[in-house]
Amino acid sequence: MQHELEKLRYPIGRFAVPDYIDTQLLQDWIKTIANFPTRIKSEVSGLTDTDLEKRYRPDGWTIKQVVHHCADSHMNSFIRFKLALTEDNPTIKLYEEQHWAELADAKNVSIDSSVKLLEGLHERWETLLTNLSNEQLERTFVHPATKRLISLKVNIGLYAWHCNHHLMHIVNAKNR
């Protein structure tokens, strides 16, 4: 039972930092981030209000909450990138994503607003990411929970994974 829940929670597995991050891998990750709004829009196109209330696992978020979570999370990540690029090893601000997913805007507002937000945000994010120098890719922020330094190049990979992770949640929820 525990293994089944883990598979539902992490359908593509957990993010693992590769031993080596080369230019091609970074370009692939950036492409994943750049294409995310189109892919999520495609996955949710034509879904009814009933469909949007489907969950990818027991006690998991609804499709609607996943879409709004992606907007929330990606806004936070974009800001973290900007902080790391303009400050020396800033400590990022955490947010209680499980509580954000229960707020009225995540439960009661059309997903259209978050899809539009993702389109604009990812357009800017792609421009930022494709113009980072090797030195900028090595810039870091501090994660307050782990006290670890996270490089921007690793965070690009984490957010490419995040895109695919939540897209699979939506696919799985649609099929439940």
DSSP H/E element including 6: helix 2-9
| Rounded Cα–Cα distance for residues 67 and 40 (Å) | 8
Q: What CATH number did the domain enclosing 90 receive? A: 1.20.120.450
Find the mean pLDDT for residues 87-106.
Answer: 96
Number of domains, the chain = 1
Model confidence at 2, pLDDT cuts 50, 70, 90, reads confident
Per-residue CA distances from 157 to 43, 52, 111, 124 (Å): 22, 28, 25, 17
**Taking a C-beta distance cutoff of 8 angstroms, is the pair 126, 34 a contact?**
yes
Identify whether 28 is part of a domain: no
Is residue 26 in some structural domain? no
pTM for this prediction: 0.96
- Tens of pLDDT, residue by residue over 160-176, are 999 999 999 999 999 98
Residue 163 contacts residue 32 (beta carbons within 8 Å): yes
Identify the band that residue 1 occupies on the pLDDT scale cut at 50, 70 and 90: confident
Q: How far is CA 62 from the centre of its chain?
A: 16
With respect to residue 167, please indicate whether it lies within any of the assigned structural domains. Answer: yes
Q: Write 127-130 long-range contacts (CB < 8 A, 24+).
A: 128/78, 128/81, 128/82, 129/30, 129/33, 129/81, 129/156, 130/30
Residue 117 lies in a domain: yes
Q: Which domain holds residue 43?
A: 35-175
In a domain, 53, yes or no: yes
In a domain, 5, yes or no: no
**Polymer length in residues for the chain:** 176
Task: Kindly state whether residue 25 falls inside one of the protein's structural domains.
Answer: no
DSSP tag of 56: S
Would you state the pLDDT for residue 77?
97
Residue 77 is assigned to a structural domain of this protein = yes
Beta carbons of 166 and 69 less than 8 angstroms apart: yes
